[in-house]
Amino acid sequence: MPFPTPLPADFEWGFATASYQIEGAVNEDNRGRSIWDTFCHLQPTRTKGANGDVACDHYHRYEEDFDLLKKYGAKAYRFSISWSRIIPLGGRDDPLNETGIEFYNTLIDSLLGRGITPWVTLYHWDLPQALHDRYGGWLDVEESQKDFERYAKICYERFGDRVKNWITLNEPWIVSIFGYATGGNAPGRSSINPQSFQGNTATEPWIVGRALIMSHARAVALYNKQFRESQKGQIGISLNGDYYEPWDDQDTRDKVAAERRMEFHIGWFANPIFLARDYPPCMREQLGERLPIFTPSDFSILEKAKVDFYGMNYYTSQFARHRDQPAPETDFIGNIEELQGDKNGISVGEPSGVHWLRSAPQLFRKHLTRIYQKYGKPIYVTENGCPCPGEDAMTCDESVNDSYRIRYFEDHLEAIALANNEDGTHIKGYFAWSLLDNLEWSDGYGVRFGVTFTDYVTLKRTPKKSAMLLQHIFHERMNLPTAS
């Protein structure tokens, strides 16, 4: 086997989680309800009967989980803060919950005590339910951005002396589309989903997108103005997005369709956030007046919201095929067909344990380079991982032998190393998703992305082989000694 392509000795790596997926303790210590608490308890169920009431019980077992991080050799850990644990009612004039603040202070100190660098995500989908009830949550662009700014300020004030790595939002595309177009995620609004009784797929996702962009911008501008100089941290955002190849690489229409799909997926948020520019022209052309405008005041804030890095959540790639028919009003992907095989029937990659994810590391490399060339910011891969084929039906003993996941990690890290060394792309870190098997949102507890097997009855944690091998993979690539 050839020696693996090296990574820089200061490459940051670790594991990632999200508050609602692992914490549990939803009714303890004055935590307020979030939209996911409500969504998970809808009847009939829209989450396969699952909820985050207990989840992995990380709220009570974080020391055990951080011992695993140490055992796995992680240098860093990305986690999210539950907004409604900090401000139970969410709003800028609502009281703080000091117990919730102390919980996250304890988490941060516990990580630092183990020599693990905390990376904090301010928002990973769990909007306080009280804000949704009060004014529609993200549907009110002006109110939501002001409340998010105050929440961010509290986090900077209380945690910023020790937290030097901030992510404002996780995957605003998912929040906007799954929450307000398809209705598959909280708050479940949609006009095309028969289970949804409220929403307008043609308009609401685009309103929510602007609210999220401006909330991010206010939080970053605030950090830059009041906290950066004293705290000396860095701040960015995590955007999801697949890489798209043309279904027929000889058809110019498919080449245009592939690029348009990535603009609808990534450029929607990245153009305003990283370039302080309007949305991609193809979005304006298709959506017309349904795509909200940015005001001069908005652009002024965006100009002040300079970020330090691009957080990339990447799992898979696809093929894009053009459509000849006009786009329906409810289209949100750029009027294309998404396919997992090309014109010649060649699959984009090896199937995993979930239908939408195939391993395509060669296209990951292209994706990294495209993003770096377009937006010019160092990249941290803030999520990357997979479930093994059939893992949802495996016993613990079967799941820990996760050879597919090991191969997936190795191949995607090789893509990163090649992009760094041969393509001139600046990639500074990598977070495997996820530390634990956990609540996979609307997929419930069936799909397992973790490097640690979670028994959802006993809550026992069992390391999978991938967890122990990642340290060796990184240390070999970084030419570092591996701890025994």
E-strand ranges in 299-421 read 309-313, 317-322, 336-339, 350-351, 358-359, 379-383
Catalytic residue among 23, 143, 149, 171: 171
> What is the rounded CA–CA span in Å between residue 388 and residue 367?
23
Query: Looking at the DSSP assignment, which residues form a beta bridge with residue 120?
Result: 79, 166
Rounded Cα distance between 260 and 125, Å, is 26
Beta carbons within 8 Å of 48's beta carbon, 6+ residues apart: 442, 443, 444, 445, 446
Asked about 440 being catalytic, the answer comes back as: no
Q: In this structure, are residues 23 and 52 in contact, taking their beta carbons and an 8 Å threshold?
A: yes
Please give the distance of CA 45 from its chain centroid, rounded to a whole number: 24
d(Cα 215, Cα 457) in Å, to the nearest integer? 38
End-to-end CA distance of the chain: 23
Whole-angstrom CA distances from 132 to 39, 80, 187, 330, 406 are 12, 20, 9, 23, 41
Phi, psi of 409, deg, nearest 5: -60, -50
- Token pair, residue 259, equals 């690029």
Residue 287 sits at the vertex; the CA angle it makes with 286 and 292, to the nearest 5 degrees, is 145
Taking alpha carbons only, the member of 430, 426, 479 closest to residue 451 is 430
Half-sphere exposure of 458 (CA within 13 A, CB side): 6
Cβ contacts of 262 within 8 Å, gap of 6 or more: 241, 242, 243, 244, 370
Catalytic residue among 383, 391, 414, 440: 383
Q: Is 12 a catalytic residue?
A: no
Q: Which stretch of DSSP H or E encloses residue 131?
A: helix 129-135
Do residues 322 and 251 lie in contact, with contact meaning Cβ atoms separated by under 8 Å? yes
State the catalytic residues. 171, 383
